[in-house]
Structure 1
């Protein structure tokens, strides 16, 4: 029989004794996403969703706007996308995921060379946000135990506050 416990799985013998007990995870209250990930998120938001188009509700960013300049606009935005990939490298994202991020950026870059249709598709493809999602999912998978432990600490603190109120 197994039951889920706050930071792992406890396994019980038939007589109810714990067979293996997960080690408690120590996590600092200041544990947070690394600066490289936060910078990548900010840059991706600026590039892909900075401005809301009135009446339509679509969000576009510098990538869609600067990309309207034939050739040079898309090249400038590719350089900005490479910055996000570099931040992923700095964060430690594995090379296979960085390859996917490069592919996303090159697709976005290639679409920019298709007149009008490329600009329309670029509004919806949002390669930079895709790349940041890859980084976020990888980082969370690497830090899941710490995130769970911190969440449990904060829930216990909140419950204590609620009892006092």
Structure 2
């Protein structure tokens, strides 16, 4: 398996502040860890800790849900609306509920990426309300 290009020093350089730019960086790193840490050879599909944790019955799905909920918590710190937070929480909850089902949950982790969807929602909010945090993606 090929690993993603996450420099270990990135975790040391993550900002601790509560400003929108720091929150954006932390959320992007967490999403990359959860959804795109490895590339499966042959099919070139990215998977992360969410899919790997899903292989551990119950506890793995619970841990993945807690990490996904942390992204929602950071979105709350950005001042996102209750509707957006509810939608994001529902995505994480749906992903966790699917993960409880033995075989279907593992397939769902492979195809349904709640954290990526939540990151997109957060980026749209940041681009609209905090335009100084916009980053150019490669």
Normalized against structure 2, the TM-score is what? 0.78
2:31 pairs with 1:47: no
Q: CA RMSD in A?
A: 1.8
Structure 1 CA distance for aligned equivalents of residues 112 and 67 of structure 2: 16
Q: Which residue of 2 aligns with 1:81?
A: 68
Q: Which residue of 1 aligns with 2:101?
A: 114
Structure 2 CA distance for aligned equivalents of residues 132 and 93 of structure 1: 13
Structure 1 CA distance for aligned equivalents of residues 133 and 89 of structure 2: 28
Structure 2 CA distance for aligned equivalents of residues 122 and 147 of structure 1: 29
- Please say if residues 126 and 133 of structure 2, whose CA atoms lie closer than 8 Å, have aligned partners that are also in contact: no
How far does residue 143 in structure 1 lie from its aligned partner after superposition? 3.5
Structure 1 CA distance for aligned equivalents of residues 127 and 35 of structure 2: 22
- Please say if residues 67 and 77 of structure 1, whose CA atoms lie closer than 8 Å, have aligned partners that are also in contact: yes
1:91/1:55 Cα in 2 relative to 1: closer, same or farther (>3 Å)? same
How far does residue 147 in structure 1 lie from its aligned partner after superposition? 7.8
How far does residue 53 in structure 1 lie from its aligned partner after superposition? 0.3
* Equivalent residue pairs, number: 116
1:55/1:47 Cα in 2 relative to 1: closer, same or farther (>3 Å)? same
Structure 2 CA distance for aligned equivalents of residues 63 and 147 of structure 1: 26
Where do 5+ consecutive residues of structure 2 fail to align?
1-18
**Larger radius of gyration, structure 1 or 2?**
1
- Please say if residues 85 and 98 of structure 1, whose CA atoms lie closer than 8 Å, have aligned partners that are also in contact: yes
How far does residue 34 in structure 1 lie from its aligned partner after superposition? 1.2
How far does residue 115 in structure 1 lie from its aligned partner after superposition? 1.4
Select which of 114, 125, 134 maps to 2:112: 125
Where do 5+ consecutive residues of structure 1 fail to align?
1-31, 149-165
Normalized against structure 1, the TM-score is what? 0.66
